[in-house]
Chains A and B, each alone.
Chain A
Amino acid sequence: QSVLPQPPSVSGAPGQRVTISCTGTTSNIGAGYDVHWYQQLPGTAPKLLMYGNTNRPSGVPDRFSGSKSATSASLAITGLQAEDEADYYCQSYDISLSGSRVFGGGTKLTVL
């Protein structure tokens, strides 16, 4: 069981909107630590998609957006495209684990 549970899979048709949740606790997200999101295409290294909860690195389309609430975070993708099919991971910091960075379990996005 991951420290930051995510749904194992989500799917949507091209053009639709999907969201991926990342559930934390008072030791990580709920303690005020930032959440970041990574996209991993098959056979490649992860790529930073969203940092500091809501910030997109240069080159990431504005179809991707992030949000954070008390103890959870979400990644939203609008106008789904076939190229968005990938694994998505959230990541944060957990104060109870000796200064550990922690990842979500990952969510496989399928574009139908």
Chain B
Amino acid sequence: QRQLVQSGAEVKKPGASLKVSCKASGYTFTDYYLHWVRQAPGQGLEWMGWINPKSGATNYAQKFQGRVTMTRDSSISTAYMELSGLTSHDTAVYLCARDMGSERVDDAFDVWGQGTMVTVSP
């Protein structure tokens, strides 16, 4: 079945960088955009950006531009999200999600990873 499996929880120091992976299975990796969403403790969902696994093109939310980098390795059907300059405000669960492949800009997210808890603490 279609599945996204993320890397495990991490603890980081302020100022460090973070890299989370998201491995796809059960579908053709390059056929669907992959998005990253985060959720701070007790808070709502926040969209961070997307990557086109076929071309490697990316689009980042304005809030994260200059600090986030999304990449992929199509040979192993895996996407990565790297966030630099971490602060305590970056403590959150980071989720990857696949869009439905309609090629509409307002497409929904139909497959989600299980989430990766990242804690930023001195």
Contacts and interface: CB of A to CB of B under 8 A. Distances in A.
Nearest to A36: B108
Contact of B105 (A38, A47, A99): A99
Contact of A100 (B61, B95, B100, B113): B61
Interface range on chain A (Cβ under 8 Å from partner): 20 to 34
A46 B45 contact: yes
A105 interface: yes
A48 B108 contact: yes
Nearest to A105: B44
Interface stretch (A10-18, A76-84, A85-93): A85-93
Contact of A89 (B45, B104, B110, B113): B45
Nearest to B113: A45
Given A34-B104, A38-B45, A101-B47, 6 more contacts: A34-B106, A36-B109, A45-B115, A93-B105, A105-B44, A106-B45
Interface in B79-122: 95, 97, 100, 104-110, 112-115
Contacts of B97: 46
